[in-house]
Amino acid sequence: MRIGISCYSTFGGSGVVATEVGKALAARGHEVHILSTAVPPRLLGFEDRVTFHEVTAAPYPLFESSPITVSLASKMADVAAHHGLEILHAHYALPHALSALLARMALGDGLKVVTTLHGTDITVVGADPSYLPMVRLAIRASDAVTAVSRFLKEETDRTFGVDRDIRVIPNFVEPPPGESSNCRSWLAPAGAKVLTHISNFRPVKRVMDVMQVFERVRREVDARLVMVGDGPDRAEAEGFARDRGLDPWVRFTGKQLDIGAVLACSDLFLLTSATESFGLAALEAMAYGVPVVASRVGGVPEVIRHGLDGFLEPMGDVGAMAARSVELLSDEPRRRAMGESARDRALGDFAEGPVVDMYESLYEDVLAPPRTTLDLGSSAR
């Protein structure tokens, strides 16, 4: 198949999933074209059968901001026409799915549009009245729609009331590379416990809860906190660390290409989000054998089994999350056992192969000619 994939090039999970699906499909022999405003972080090396197309929106004095939805649609139409794309797979409804629908209008129905809903395109920004009707159109008019968790599928039905089939295809992880990381030496030289949080530091991640959990944990355990990523709430979190004298024990790394280097040396992962459709960062931690303490929101319970792979506590209950963290960090055999369980869960139930099979078979379904009465009659003979 010849497949176009459009995604954000930021460090967020939707871009990670889109790029990893693309690479996996190319490894299976498909021709993959990735369209984004910059090279996604997971596409830095050369990949056979993967071509990157940069989307640029030309400025013009009349524009208050460049209309990226239109320039993305133009690039999609151009790439689809010149490379004979059969599928355009839009990751995140806004604006990718709408651009893909515009490209399909430009080229005709031979081009099929698959949309994967990732999270806030449904739960936060997509539900805002300024976008909702267009997200509803994207869901209704795509040839196929997937959601990364049952929660997200149900939330889509509830918020958008679109009567259509939405297939749940979860996110996935690959086994970590075998090489060892030297992060312990720079993260926790004195053998302290390492807590890690990775996100885009947007309000939905509640990073101040991470800081408060850590402050409480530090009262009882010799611990360090590694904050990976960047975003609007980073400055407040850094200010908190300074004001509370936590500075020596907290490291803000900024965005990191190689999160495995940090996860390989982590003892516990914290995910305190207000809502989370899946929690890919937590799944990646689990693949490294790191148990997770998280808020019980959205699709998180579909990934983390409370009491087995970590603990789930009510959103905002920093006291309960800190108590669970201390409980685990003070009992190394138990922490290790939970880490093993988390690794088995991640690499067993969220392995790449079966998930990519699901996308591949979805594409085949979408490309299959519609069955007619005549077909049914002849197959019945």
Which helix or strand (DSSP H or E) is residue 112 part of? strand 112-117
Q: Between residues 275 and 295, which has the closer beta carbon with respect to ligand GMT?
A: 275
CA gap 194, 263 in Å, rounded:
9
Is omega for the bond preceding 95 within 30 degrees of 0, making it cis? yes
Helix/strand/coil (H, E, C) string of 278-300?
Answer: CCHHHHHHHHCCCCEEEECCCCH
Among 6, 120, 142, 266, binds ligand GMT (CB under 6 A): 120
Site string for ligand GMT, 197-216 (x = CB under 6 A): -------x------------
Site string for ligand GMT, 64-103 (x = CB under 6 A): ----------------------------------------
The residue range among 7-15, 222-230, 313-321, 366-374 that interacts with ligand GMT, by the rule CB under 6 A, is 7-15
Nearest to 199 by CA among 187, 183, 211, 215: 211
Is residue 119 a contact residue for ligand GMT (CB under 6 A)? yes
Q: State the DSSP string of 124-186.
A: TGGGSTTTHHHHHHHHHHSSEEEESSHHHHHHHHHHH---S--EE----BPPPPSSPP-HHHH
Q: Between residues 4 and 119, which has the closer beta carbon with respect to ligand GMT?
A: 119
In the bound complex, what is the minimum distance in angstroms from residue 171's beta carbon to ligand GMT? 5
In the bound complex, what is the minimum distance in angstroms from residue 49's beta carbon to ligand GMT? 24
**What distance, in Å, lies between the first and last C-alpha atoms of the chain?**
31
Site string for ligand GMT, 259-298 (x = CB under 6 A): --------------x-xxxxxx------------------
CA gap 56, 322 in Å, rounded:
45
Among 112, 118, 153, 335, binds ligand GMT (CB under 6 A): 118
Residues 12-51 that bind ligand GMT (CB under 6 A): 12-15, 17
Q: Between residues 148 and 355, which has the closer beta carbon with respect to ligand GMT?
A: 148
Residues 328-367 that bind ligand GMT (CB under 6 A): none
Are 213 and 273 in contact by the 8 Å Cβ rule? The answer is no
Is residue 104 a contact residue for ligand GMT (CB under 6 A)? no
Instruction: Work out whether the CA dihedral 364, 366, 372, 376 comes out positive or negative.
Output: positive
Instruction: Work out whether the CA dihedral 327, 333, 334, 337 comes out positive or negative.
Output: positive
> Using CB under 6 A as the criterion, which residues of the chain lie in contact with ligand GMT when the complex forms?
12-15, 17, 118-121, 148, 171, 204, 273, 275-280
